[in-house]
Structure 1
């Protein structure tokens, strides 16, 4: 990067273009992707950087404000938003909880992936490329003590990763694979029916 002035100029120009493309890719995703599905792996790292937990599953969404995270490994958990409420179901406990979508969504990753107006809710900033991805920081415009930072990684125009650091310094990295957008997702995928005998906690 520091060999010659001309190299610096060219590198800066190329980096700037890549960053602008990443911001544009996020805007395009929010504008054009009306529905989608993907597989994901999630790695949660403790603030000390030593302890890690991994999980995997599938993700589906339908704009506006409908999504489904189905965790399969190492244990099952289902998170469903039907446009009005968010439901979380733990099969092992046979217990579900629900809360109003507006209370749960706010300026969260789900709002970026399946919500409405990103320009209204987030300030977007290009970040340096890393790990072969172009990154965009999405800073909530409304202060949220539960969220320290959030960024999305794109490979070209395709969403590849999402990284969140919460208020305690815990880092969650979600990597997507096989992403398909604007596909037909059955409406019942975003409907939750309380299983027989399950306990329900409404918040």
Structure 2
């Protein structure tokens, strides 16, 4: 029986038309990623005020389906995906909103990284050349989303930057620092508890 299995495996490798299609380098990066943790610096140019809005915080991801994006300054805000729901906690206002991920998955800018569906199922991947020592890829949504495109900058097989374009003049740029890839993260990091006395919008 083992010989039959081995023979069938070999035939599957060599018969014309059965050779697996080449996997895009960006898809390879995602396939190999289990966890990702980093500090981040986020910048967005405020078009009407001619200034840069700058935020910092930490980011943790565990594939598939769990993400934590914690803004620490200038204001605290927590965005968490627990695999089923997306939670947003505004600390200053003591407000929490929650929505099923299935309703908004296409509008999550890192959905291409977070979930198991092939990237090219929802995006066209376009090579965007090299700049600032990084290799860039542009993701163009196949469906309607609130952003026009996303650019990912990679170095040595690790995601270093993500730029999110809502328009040509409205770009949010995220730079990652102190990156750790495929290091253990406790699943408890992606559990959210509604704070006492917080206003809750949405159904749990």
TM range (shorter): 0.7 to 0.9
Q: Distance in 2 between matches of 1:181 and 1:25?
A: 17
2:123 match: 122
2:156 match: 156
Aligned residue-pair number: 180
Q: Distance in 2 between matches of 1:108 and 1:75?
A: 21
Which one has a bigger Cα radius of gyration? 2
Alpha-carbon deviations, 1:156-193, whole Å to 9, x = none?
21110000111584110000112212111111111110
1:135 match: 136
Q: Distance in 1 between matches of 2:52 and 2:198?
A: 31
Structure 1's 47 and 114: CA in aligned 2 closer, same or farther, altered over 3 A?
same
Unpaired runs of at least 5, structure 2: 1-22
Give the secondary structure class of the aligned counterpart of 2:113. Answer: helix
1:104 match: 104
Structure 1's 157 and 48: CA in aligned 2 closer, same or farther, altered over 3 A?
farther
Counterparts of 1:152-191 in structure 2, within 5 Å, are 152-167=152-167, 169-191=169-191
Structure 1's 201 and 105: CA in aligned 2 closer, same or farther, altered over 3 A?
same
Structure 1's 168 and 129: CA in aligned 2 closer, same or farther, altered over 3 A?
closer
Q: Distance in 1 between matches of 2:109 and 2:115?
A: 9
Structure 1's 72 and 41: CA in aligned 2 closer, same or farther, altered over 3 A?
same
TM-score, normalised to structure 1, is 0.82
